[in-house]
Amino acid sequence: MKITDVEVIHFRTKHRGRSAGSRWGYGVWIDDEEVEGTSAITRISTDEGVTGHMLGGNKATMEGAIKNLLVGENPLNREKLWHWMDQMSTFGHSLAEHELGIVDCALWDLAGQKAGMPVYQLLGGTRDKVEAYASTYPNLGGPEVYEELARECVVRGYEAFKVHANICWNPHTREPAPQLPGFPKEDVEICRAVREAVGDDIMLMLDPFGVYTLEESLWVARELEELNYYWLEHPMVETRVEAYRRLTQQTSIAICSPEHVKGGPFARAEWLLQGACDMLRIDVNYGGITGCWKLINLCQLYGVQCEIHGVGAPHVHLAAATPEATCRYYERGLLRPGRDYDESPSHLGQIADPMDGEGCVHVSQEPGLGIAYNWDYIDDNRI
- What is the phi/psi pair of residue 36, to 5°? -85, 145
Burial class (CB in 10 A: 0-12, 13-18, 19+), 181: exposed
pLDDT for position 26: 46
Q: Is the pLDDT of residue 282 over 90?
A: yes
Regarding whether 259 and 151 lie in a shared domain, the answer is yes
Regarding whether 164 and 281 lie in a shared domain, the answer is yes
Q: Could you report the per-residue pLDDT of 345-365, keeping only the tens digit for each?
A: 899 999 999 999 999 999 999
pLDDT for position 30: 47
Regarding whether 106 and 128 lie in a shared domain, the answer is no
DSSP 60-110: HHIIIIIHHHHTTS-TT-HHHHHHHHHHHHHTTSS--HHHHHHHHHHHHHH
Average pLDDT over residues 193-207: 98
pLDDT for position 259: 94
pLDDT for position 45: 98
Q: How many folded domains does the chain comprise?
A: 2
Regarding whether 332 and 222 lie in a shared domain, the answer is yes
Answer whether residue 163 is part of any domain.
yes
Model confidence at 291, in pLDDT bands (50, 70, 90)? very high
pLDDT for position 24: 45
pLDDT for position 101: 98
Answer whether residue 110 is part of any domain.
yes
Express as a percent the part of the chain with pLDDT over 70.
94
Regarding whether 91 and 214 lie in a shared domain, the answer is no
Answer whether residue 46 is part of any domain.
yes
pLDDT for position 19: 40
Model confidence at 89, in pLDDT bands (50, 70, 90)? confident
Distance CA 102, CA 369 (A): 12
Task: Identify the CATH number of the domain in which residue 34 sits.
Answer: 3.30.390.10
Distance CA 244, CA 376 (A): 49
- Amino acid of residue 25: G
Express as a percent the part of the chain with pLDDT over 90.
87
Q: Is the pLDDT of residue 81 over 60?
A: yes
Mean pLDDT estimate for the chain: 93
Q: Is the pLDDT of residue 31 over 60?
A: no
pLDDT for position 33: 63
Distance CA 240, CA 261 (A): 11
pLDDT for position 200: 96
Q: Could you list the residue range(s) of the whole structural domain that residue 313 is in? A: 122-362
Length of the chain measured in residues: 383
pLDDT for position 27: 54
Answer whether residue 129 is part of any domain.
yes
Cα three-residue angle 51-57-61, rounded to 5 degrees: 100
Regarding whether 131 and 46 lie in a shared domain, the answer is no
pLDDT for position 95: 87
pLDDT for position 23: 43
Model confidence at 29, in pLDDT bands (50, 70, 90)? low
pLDDT for position 91: 72
pLDDT for position 266: 96
Answer whether residue 27 is part of any domain.
yes
Average pLDDT over residues 276-299: 98
Regarding whether 358 and 222 lie in a shared domain, the answer is yes
Q: Is the pLDDT of residue 28 over 70?
A: no
Q: Could you report the per-residue pLDDT of 227-280, keeping only the tens digit for each?
A: 999 999 999 999 999 999 999 999 999 999 999 999 999 999 999 999 999 999
Report yes or no: 104 and 290 within 8 Å, Cβ to Cβ: yes
pLDDT for position 2: 98
Task: Identify the CATH number of the domain in which residue 138 sits.
Answer: 3.20.20.120
Regarding whether 254 and 177 lie in a shared domain, the answer is yes
Q: Is the pLDDT of residue 220 over 70?
A: yes
The helix or strand, by DSSP H or E, that contains position 54, with its residue range, turns out to be strand 51-55
Answer whether residue 367 is part of any domain.
no
Regarding whether 14 and 108 lie in a shared domain, the answer is yes
pLDDT for position 338: 84
Regarding whether 148 and 111 lie in a shared domain, the answer is no
Answer whether residue 368 is part of any domain.
no
Regarding whether 150 and 96 lie in a shared domain, the answer is no
Regarding whether 237 and 154 lie in a shared domain, the answer is yes
> Edge-to-edge, what's the strand order for the sheet holding 35-46?
3-15, 35-46, 51-55
pLDDT for position 116: 98
Q: Could you report the per-residue pLDDT of 313-346, keeping only the tens digit for each?
A: 999 999 999 999 999 999 999 999 988 889 888 9
Answer whether residue 369 is part of any domain.
no
Average pLDDT over residues 184-191: 98
